């Protein structure tokens, strides 16, 4: 369990001496494990509530689409930020840019911005919905990259269906 805590908090990078400036700064400013778990749960639950609330607001005539786009996007940002409590912001950004996650991260962030553009500037319901779907798929693919062999299982499942 201690090894898991060290890995998730970014303190176990395989370097035994840990004398780098970033490592020392990270260790000096880290939160306790309980605080990290509370922050993770709070952000993750708020992200889920925002996404669900946004989906409910979609059906309100008039401004429903804009409210949906904002709440759904904020929900995804909060869900993504929740893992920063477990890993730390620097390690989270490094893992987001790792080669197995970089494409999913870029697509997710671009679709997030395009969702807001479609809702506010272009006023296009169809585009906003398309970008939300792409945002969801990219976020799911990004999340699956943390589970060993999950992506391979999904690919195999879809290849069997086709």
Q: List pLDDT tens digits, range 74-87.
A: 999 999 999 888 88
Per the domain annotation, does 13 fall within a domain? no
Q: Is 143 exposed, middle or buried, given 0-12, 13-18 or 19+ CB atoms closer than 10 A?
A: middle
**Structural domain boundaries, residue 87:** 2-6+30-161
Residue 38 pLDDT = 93
Question: Residue 62: pLDDT band by 50, 70, 90 thresholds?
Answer: confident
Q: Are 58 and 64 in contact (CB under 8 A)?
A: yes
Residue 124 pLDDT = 86
How many whole angstroms separate alpha carbon 87 and alpha carbon 57?
Answer: 33
Mean pLDDT of 121-144: 90
Q: Which residues contact 24 (CB under 8 A, 6 or more apart)?
A: 18
pLDDT at 98 over 90: yes
pLDDT tens-digit readout, 3-58: 656 656 656 555 555 556 656 555 555 678 888 899 999 999 999 999 999 888 87
Per the domain annotation, does 132 fall within a domain? yes
Which residue did the predictor score with more confidence, 60 or 103?
103
Per the domain annotation, does 12 fall within a domain? no
Q: Which residues contact 17 (CB under 8 A, 6 or more apart)?
A: none
Q: Which residue has the tokens 């987001």?
A: 96
Q: How many residues does the chain have?
A: 162
Residue 40 pLDDT = 93
Residue 39 pLDDT = 92
Both structure tokens of 74: 């904020």
How many whole angstroms separate alpha carbon 146 and alpha carbon 26?
Answer: 22
Counting the structural domains of the chain, the total is: 1
pLDDT at 141 over 80: yes
CA-to-CA dists, residue 38 to 33, 76, 86, 138, angstroms? 9, 18, 10, 26
Question: Residue 153: pLDDT band by 50, 70, 90 thresholds?
Answer: very high
In the chain, the percentage of residues whose pLDDT exceeds 90 is 48
Per the domain annotation, does 142 fall within a domain? yes
Per the domain annotation, does 21 fall within a domain? no
How many whole angstroms separate alpha carbon 58 and alpha carbon 93?
Answer: 31
In the chain, the percentage of residues whose pLDDT exceeds 70 is 81
Residue 123 pLDDT = 84
How many whole angstroms separate alpha carbon 58 and alpha carbon 75?
Answer: 14
């Amino acid at each position: 369990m201690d090894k898991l805590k060290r890995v998730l908090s970014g303190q176990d990078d395989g370097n035994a001496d840990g004398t780098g400036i970033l490592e020392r700064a990270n260790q000096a400013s880290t939160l306790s494990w309980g605080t990290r778990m509370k922050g993770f749960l709070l952000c993750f639950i708020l992200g889920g509530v925002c996404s669900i609330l946004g989906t409910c607001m979609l059906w309100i005539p008039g401004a429903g689409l804009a409210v949906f786009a904002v709440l759904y996007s904020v929900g995804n940002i909060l869900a993504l930020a929740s893992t920063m409590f477990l890993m730390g912001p620097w390690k989270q950004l490094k893992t987001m840019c790792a080669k197995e996650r970089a494409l999913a991260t870029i697509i997710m962030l671009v679709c997030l911005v395009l969702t807001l553009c479609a809702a506010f500037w272009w006023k296009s319901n169809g585009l906003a919905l398309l970008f939300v779907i792409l945002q969801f798929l990219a976020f799911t693919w990004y999340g699956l990259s943390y589970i060993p062999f999950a992506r391979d299982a999904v690919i195999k499942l879809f290849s069997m269906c086709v």
